Structure formats: C-alpha cells, structure tokens
Amino acid sequence: HLRTTSAEIERNDSGVGTETSKPSRLRRLMAVENQERQCADCDQQVEPREGKLSGMLCDPLVCRKCERKRYERKELITEIVVTEVKYGRDLNIVKEEFYRPMEVAGLLGKEQLRQIFLNIDELISFSAKFAEKLKDAIDIAREQGDEDYTTVNIGKLFLESTDMLHAFETYCVQQ
C-alpha cells in the first residue's frame, strides 16, 4: 500500500525547484522510510537514493549491484547484435566482391568456388535471420519500456537458432 503512495507522490511532483520541493522531498523520505524495499533481482534491501539526472530522491527498482549487472547484460546483448549485423555485412562483401566476380569471370569451376567459399550462402541467410530476430526482440523490449532488455531472452534466441549453429559447424569443419 505504501508503495503506491510514494509512487504517487513522485508522479505528482514536477521536480522543478519550487518552494514546495523541500517538504515534498521530506514527505517522500518519510514514505519510504517505513517500508522494506526489495531489489527486483536479488531480494536485497534497496535504499532510496538521489536520481542521477533529476537529483530527486527515488526508489530504485534494483540494488546497485544488480543495476550494474543489468547494465552489463544490456551492453553484452547490444554487442552481440552489433557483431552479428557487422558479420552479415562482411559475409555479403565477400560474396559480392569476391565470389560473384570469380563466378562471372569463370576462372574457377563450381566445385573450386565451393571449396573456397564453403557454405557462405547458408551463413549469410542464417546470419540475416538471427540478426533480425535479435533486433525484433530488442524492439519489443523497448516498446514495452524495458530499457534494460530484461525481457530479451538471449539464451533462448541462441537455442532457437541451432540450425545456424550447424551451418557454422559445417563451415568450421571444412576450414
């Protein structure tokens, strides 16, 4: 019950430094003082603290340690997406700048090309699909206001893409 009360107080406060800002801040303090706030991720008690931008006292959803974890997890997810997109781009460059000209020039036979470029078409297709899947998951999280991407189940996305992993197996074995 108290949880709602303090949230309402926060919403009603414009945050602009008016003469009412002091008492309302005190009210907020009193409202949160009497309750046990638990971290959403680890159940540890969370202390109210000043917001980075607003400087206003607020109740963080997670403790500092978990906030850091969420941040690192988000960074990793972002990095995976960026890497996948870049990898797909590189594969397409290899195909368009090397494979195709060689194929068109007829310098090498089909089998020789296959021996050099292996299953590049398969890799391109899987990489594109995987990148799309990742981006979709992030878009959905963002639309839901999930800025930490906590709803992005990155492990599940990898598990759902076992076809892709097999394509890489083929690629690696033939190296």
- Closest to Zn ion by CB, 64 or 166: 64
In the complex with Zn ion, the residue whose CB is nearer, 41 or 59, is: 41
Question: What is the closest distance, in whole angstroms, from the C-beta atom of residue 42 to Zn ion in the complex?
Answer: 3
The residue with tokens 């009603």 is: 12
Q: Which amino acid is at 70?
A: R
41 binds Zn ion (CB under 5 A): yes
Q: Could you say whether residue 32 binds Zn ion (CB under 5 A)? A: no
How many chain residues touch Zn ion (CB under 5 A)? 6
Which two three-digit tokens encode residue 60?
Answer: 């963080």
Cα-Cα-Cα-Cα torsion 39, 60, 35, 22, nearest 10 degrees, comes to 170
Both tokens of 80, joined, read 């995976």
**Within 48-87, which residues bind Zn ion (CB under 5 A)?**
63, 66
State the alpha helices, DSSP H only, in the chain.
Answer: 2-12, 21-33, 64-94, 100-105, 110-117, 120-143, 154-159, 162-173
> Is the sign of the CA dihedral 13, 15, 19, 24 positive or negative?
positive
Which of 7, 42, 107, 159 binds Zn ion (CB under 5 A)? It is: 42
Q: How far is the CB of 75 from Zn ion (least distance, A)?
A: 18
Tell which one of 9, 39, 58, 118 touches Zn ion (CB under 5 A).
39
Tally the residues of the chain.
175
Shortest distance in whole angstroms from residue 61 CB to Zn ion: 9
Residue ranges in contact with Zn ion by CB under 5 A? 39, 41-42, 44, 63, 66
